Structure 1
Amino acid sequence: MTAPEPADPPSEDLTRLAALYGVATSYSPSPDRIVAASATAVTSVLTALGVDASTPGAVRAALAAREREQAGRLLPPTVVGWTGSAPAALAGLPAGSRLRIDTEDGATRTSADGLPPGVHRLTATAPDGRTAEAHLIVAPPRLPAPAGRTHGLLVQLYSLLSRRSWGMGDLGDLRELAAWAGRSLGAGFLQVNPLHAAVPGAPTDPSPYRPSSRRFPDPVHLRVEDVPEAAYVADRERLHALLEQGGRLRAAVLEKSELIDRDAVWELKREALRLIAEVPLGPGRRAAYSDFLAEQGKALEDHATWCALAEVHGSDWHRWPTGLRDPRSAETERARNGLLDRVEFWSRLAWLTDEQLRAAQRAGREAGMPVGVVHDLAVGVHPGGADAWAQQEHFAAGMSVGAPPDAFNALGQDWGLPPWRPDRLAESGYAPFRDLLRALFRYAGALRIDHVMGLFRLWWVPQGHPPTEGTYVRYDAEAMLAVLVLEASRAGAPVIGEDLGTVEPGVREALRERGVLGTSVLWFERDWEGDGRPLPPESWRADCLATATTHDLPSTAARLTGEHVELRDSLGLLTRPLAQEREEAARDTGEWLSELSRLGLLHGTGGGGDASSEEAQIQAVHRFLLRTPARMIGVWLPDGVGDRRPQNLPGTWDQYPNWRLPVADAEGRPVTLEDLAASPRLRALMDVLGEPGS
């Protein structure tokens, strides 16, 4: 079925021009439906890509220019090759063309045969004298896979408080959890939320998926007492007072059931870290810090400069004095020189955070984890933040990433994240993406990529327009995957793609070919091409992380009891009568419980007990996951103590405390890391994963 044309459908010339730039003029929200994009949306996107499509004449001129450019081009800006096969782009060179390849290790070659993995410089000269230069990315054919089958825990770090943290979970807690889970639970990994640097505000956006920077982590996660220089702070009385205030924030969350207050935590930590930064580094520490500065280079200087300028001018660089909006301007250089102490402070914090992140990963590996900490890569960054300022030439001005209307959201979604320009990425040899991945793999045992479909295409929404008036823009998925495989292979780290929801045909197959694991959530795994019944475990895909739930979904206890429906009703989020929603939820849950019973997975707890109890049912859900061939099995940590509340409820902002809840038990009482380590219920659930014959 084809939907009605928009009021201003693209002309034939505009459609041809859009195709040459990877801009879609229609999309399919379902296999039987095609929706046309508006000419306004297509024109706006082309404008953001530097193409004048404002008039029919301009469209014709741009079309002719683009066709001439492509006809006369010897090579694209970036060429992709996979070890063991020649780059496909070279097959299009005229016969007799000469090659010069300057490899990243300094060698020079005249053939692409047998090139080592890396990012090389390619020069091609045609017999008629035409010359072209390109980046040549050569990657192994597949990513490294996890060593054998493994299971682990999924947790939002801020929600995991110990009796030592300052009102939110920190990297000391992550290190402790990794050491305990690896040794005592046999866990092979811990998956956490994005720990990217946030945009400061009043209040700060608590979502970890709209960061200021994806390349640099947020120092709010630091365990202050674990910084070596903390032992030598001159003002011991003030530091002790800050420690006590941090304890009061912790007590407010754990004992008074107050929400996690990230801003209050950061206010205390920032002052404590200021005191620590006044302590001179010893010779060994100074050398390590100097090495870090050299490794991070200009990117860290830009990030620290943005942080320093944001303290003075606010956290949206679009509102700064005109000269400071350009990171390369003379005004910015003068401002940086005038704020050197603050730039140094933020650079030091980046180093300290990197140290503690790497320590957490080491703790996991030393505890026997084959993977360790799985870090999460958000799909984009805040438009006013550090990355968007420092790399603005790579972002599409006036555009935001989102999602088109579908069966679940008729209005579409606008995530408020500026997209990377695919043309600028290609021209740079995908340098921003390479640098980002390399930074994350410094401390990641594996990487989860949120909305992994964004490696293929993203829904661009013109500023000031609703999400319904956007269109898809395509990226060079082969190049994006080559960069991902190259950097992950260098780190020896697996990659998990979050591929839930509507996925374009061919995407999952392309990801699987390159070794990227998918994400399978139990409640969504049904025989959609058949009778819609729960998908038998043997029919699940093997190349995935299999879980019962995620941070954006109800906990398993809430789903089993139907409390997730009651919560959405209390917030006015239901689109159908409550009775109808209850009936559908009960039917869905009942079908799964019947399947668990049919497979003989419902057991009484503790060697007996009621097999129909909530705890027994949660254990049965995880026995089912073990029956699948999935390479990784993830246990949502709050499921281990019967937590009812989701960490994030999509579709809400101030109606629900998203990203601010501690892990809690079935009665809503906060549970500390120490409580978790002593929890018989969590231990029993994790023991399920080691049951013989499961």
Structure 2
Amino acid sequence: SPYRPSSRRFPDPVHLRVEDVPEFARAEDRARLDALLERAARLREGVLEKGALIDRDAVWEAKRAALELVLEVPLDPARRAAYDAFLAREGQALEDHATWCALAEVHGPAWRRWPRGLRDPRSEETARARHALRDRVDLHRRLAWLTDTQLTAAQRTAREAGMPVGIVHDLAVGVHPDGADAWAQQEFFAAGMSVGAPPDAFNARGQDWGLPPWRPDRLAASGYAPYRMLLRALFGYAGALRIDHVMGLFRLWWVPEGRSPTEGTYVRYDAEAMLAVLVLEASRAGAVVIGEDLGTVEPGVRERLRARGVLGTSVLWFERDWEGDGRPLPPQSWRADCLATATTHDLPPTAARLTGEHVELRDRLGLSTRPLAEERAEAAADTAEWRDVLSGLGLTDGEGGEEADIRAVHRFLLRTPARMVGVWLPDGVGDRRPQNLPGTSDEYPNWRLPVADVDGRPVTLEELTASPRVRALLEVLREEAAGS
């Protein structure tokens, strides 16, 4: 998933638009390419059927086959020079990444089960295998280059279109334990440990995310080299970077392998050093940094982030006067240095929150720790209280109903002093399904749900841009922003 990737430094080439690769037009086997395009069209059609899920493996199988044909085309001199420059810039890190990809094709993706000699990226066995698989290694180097090129072009296009920030990219907390980064950077990861979260109001059982943590001692000894190079790569095509669980720059909840998240403990990092590297790389790139500081946040963290220009994240439903009467915070009392949103990828869409469907879902999946009636009553009271606030501020447009409530929520966000306001795309069409449900793996189709309308019917990009409901919500943003 995007929050448990094989690599954080090299983006997944499944996102490549094959037709935009310059060599695509010169590929010789047009019949084979046409057949693959037809297969891709069938996959899209299947997703658009109600209830269908995104099959990322099938998408990658079709794209990989097409890319293999496209990459048979020789690069012209200018493209070859650009590729060679990319190889020189990325160096050993790219070589390791491409080697893992080639070895995974032969031995499977779980490198801990590979032949013993191949588990070490610096062994003689790995060097021999890299040479034997040199064509596949080069293919994966080319894919990394193409992905970097298309992401850079996307950011450039956004800026040229008048977007002052452009594209906001995301930095996950960690990587998959069997992935490329964990293999190539073994000396920096703590063996037998996983990152998670202690029990909190959102998840009383705690969380185990299955991500190996970086060792703070090894990071410091290296001068934070892997962290610095990771940030430098991401800022190369980002106008802003959102850091998931930004508290991890200060401390992380380590869970021993095979133990419950409740048996974990906090391990501290040198926050001054981590922040210094982050601020330096962001400043060099002229980029904004947004930290997701939700959940258990130790005292002083938000203040230290703010002092360095790192924005926080404020979600409407959590913004209450917790030190006073517990009532919803009025918009003028919100912090300015934040991204203000109604939800996130880990939380229910606004429509689900308003209807209470998120409570029913958590109960069906066994994630609730209290009787369903109690959870329903608490959620209903919370929603009613916020509705009263929105109505009292005159933010509803008199129409009533779900769409009007969602527009009112965003009017509220725009009344706060927050420097940025985020809109969750599914809120624009009334999707009620969370994209990711923490605490689940096979129980819920995390990261495989296409954006769908209020009836659960997946919608295309073209339908989204033409949606009257989306346009009505964006008009609220334009009106409020113009008047503020």
- Both structures adopt the same fold (TM-score exceeding 0.5): yes
Which structure: larger Rg? 1
Give the match's secondary structure for 2:242. strand
For residues 681 and 402 of structure 1, the distance between their equivalents in structure 2, rounded to whole angstroms, comes to 37
Superposed CA deviations along residues 388-438 of structure 1, whole A, max 9, x for unmatched, are 111111111222111223344443222111111111111111000000000
Give the superposition deviation at 1:651.
2.2
Tell me the secondary structure at the aligned position of residue 496 of structure 1. Answer: strand
Aligned partner of 1:246 among 40, 43, 50: 40
Measure, in 2, the Cα distance between the counterparts of 1:649 and 1:677. 27
Match of residue 660 from structure 1: 448
1: distance between equivalents of 2:344 and 2:433?
A: 12
TM-score, with normalisation over the residues of structure 1? 0.68
| Structure 1 position 573, deviation (Å) | 3.0
Aligned match for 1:228, one of 17, 22, 38: 22
What's the C-alpha RMSD, in Å, of the aligned pairs?
A: 1.2
Rounded Cα–Cα distance in structure 1 between residues aligned with 2:266 and 2:366: 31
8 Å contact 2:293–2:313 — kept in the other structure? Answer: yes
Contact 2:312–2:337 (CA under 8 A) maintained in structure 1: yes
Matched residue of 1:664: which SS? Answer: coil
2: CA distance, partners of 1:399 / 1:654: 22
| SS at 2:170 equivalent | strand
Which residue of the other structure, out of 461, 464, 472, is the alignment partner of 1:684? 472
Residue 602 of structure 1: which of 396, 415, 421 is its match? 396
Is contact 2:50-2:458 (8 Å) kept? no
Which of 402, 405, 411 in structure 2 is aligned with 1:623? Answer: 411
SS in 2 for 1:381: coil
| Aligned positions of 1:192-341 closer than 5 A | 207-341=1-135
Matched residues in 1 for 2:345 and 2:258: separation? 30
Identify if the C-alpha distance between structure 1 residues 574 and 410 changes in structure 2 by more than 3 Å, giving closer, same or farther.
closer
SS state at 1:307 partner = helix
Partner of 2:290: 496
Amino acid at match of 2:433: R
The answer for the alignment partner of 1:693 in structure 2 is 483
Q: Deviation digits for residues 458-484 of structure 1, max 9, x if unmatched?
A: 111222322222221111000000000
Q: Which SS does the other structure have where 2:340 is aligned?
A: strand
* Structure 2 equivalent of residue 670 of structure 1: 458
State which of 346, 351, 360 in structure 2 corresponds to 1:557: 351
In the alignment, the residues of structure 2 paired with residue 303 and residue 578 of structure 1 have an alpha-carbon distance, to the nearest angstrom, of: 47
Q: Distance in 1 between matches of 2:367 and 2:199?
A: 17
What one-letter code is carried by the residue in structure 1 that aligns with 2:27? V
- Which one-letter code corresponds to 1:401 in the other structure? V
SS at match of 1:310: helix
Match of 1:138 in 2: none
Superposition deviation, residue 578 in structure 1: 2.3
**5+ long unaligned stretches in structure 2:** none
After superposition, residues 389-408 of structure 1 pair within 5 angstroms as: 389-408=183-202
CA distance in 2, matches of 1:390, 1:656: 31
Query: Helix, strand or coil for the counterpart of 1:290?
Result: helix
C-alpha distance in structure 1 between counterparts of 2:389 and 2:201, whole Å? 27
Counterpart of 1:448 in 2: which secondary structure? strand
Deviations 1:51-73 (A, max 9, x none): xxxxxxxxxxxxxxxxxxxxxxx
* Number of corresponding residues: 482
Deviation at 1:334, TM superposition (A): 0.8
Say which of 177, 202, 215 aligns to 1:383: 177
Structure 1, unpaired ranges of 5+ = 1-206, 605-609
Partner of 1:449: 243
- 1:10-49 equivalence runs, <5 A: none
Q: 1:445, CA displacement in angstroms?
A: 0.9
Query: Equivalents in 2 of 1:456, 1:547: separation in Å?
Result: 24
User: Aligned to 1:689, what secondary structure does the other structure show?
Assistant: helix
Equivalent pair of 2:348/2:432 in contact (CA under 8 Å): yes
Q: 1:483 aligns with which of 261, 266, 277?
A: 277
Alignment match, 1:651:
439
Q: Measure, in 2, the Cα distance between the counterparts of 1:345 and 1:393.
A: 27
Aligned equivalents of 2:112 and 2:410: distance in 1?
48
Question: What is the distance in 1 between the residues matched to 2:64 and 2:153?
Answer: 21
CA distance in 2: counterparts of 1:632 and 1:497, whole angstroms: 12
Pairwise CA distance, 1:548: 0.4
- Write the letter of the residue equivalent to 1:587: A
Q: CA deviation at 1:649?
A: 1.6
1-structure distance, mates of 2:136, 2:285 = 32
Distance in 2, matches of 1:536 and 1:403, equals 29
Q: Which structure carries more strand by proportion?
A: 1
Change (3 A) 1:689 1:492: same
Partner residue, 1:99: none
What pairs with 1:542-581 in structure 2 (closer than 5 Å)? Answer: 542-581=336-375
2:258 corresponds to 1:470: no
Once residues 635 and 237 of structure 1 are traced to their aligned partners in structure 2, the CA distance between those partners, rounded to angstroms, is: 42
In structure 2, relative to structure 1, the CA distance for the partners of 1:558 and 1:412 (3 Å cut) is closer
SS at match of 1:519: strand
The letter of the residue matching 2:68 is R
Query: Structure 2: how far apart are the matches of 1:501 and 1:398?
Result: 25
The separation in 2 between residues aligned to 1:412 and 1:651, in whole angstroms, is 8
Q: Give, in angstroms, the shift of residue 560 of structure 1.
A: 1.1
* Greater RCO (Cα-Cα under 8 Å, separation 6 or more): 1
Tell me, what secondary structure is at the counterpart of 1:674? helix
One-letter amino acid matched to 2:9: R
Range that drifts further, 565-574 or 426-435: 565-574
* Structure 2 partner of 1:11: none
After superposition, residues 34-113 of structure 1 pair within 5 angstroms as none
SS at match of 2:458: coil
Work out the CA distance in 1 between the residues paired with 2:287 and 2:85: 23
SS at 2:422's partner residue? Answer: strand
SS in 2 for 1:652: coil
Q: 1:645 to 1:409 in 2, by over 3 A?
A: closer
- How many angstroms apart in 2 are the aligned matches of 1:221 and 1:352? 10
Alignment map for 1:84-233 (pairs within 5 Å):
207-233=1-27
Assess if the C-alpha contact under 8 Å between 2:50 and 2:457 holds in 1. no
2:163 is equivalent to residue 346 of structure 1 = no
| SS, match of residue 284 in structure 1 | helix
**Cα displacement (A) at 1:652:** 2.1
Q: Which runs of 4+ in 1 moved over 4 A?
A: none
Distance 2:4 2:31 in 1: 37
> Counterpart of 1:317 in structure 2: which amino acid?
W
Higher helix proportion: 2
The CA distance in 2 between the partners of 1:669 and 1:398, in whole Å, is 42
Q: Cα deviations across residues 20-39 of structure 1 (Å, max 9, x unaligned)?
A: xxxxxxxxxxxxxxxxxxxx
Structure 1 residues 639 and 602: alpha-carbon distance in aligned structure 2, compared to 1, 3 A threshold: same
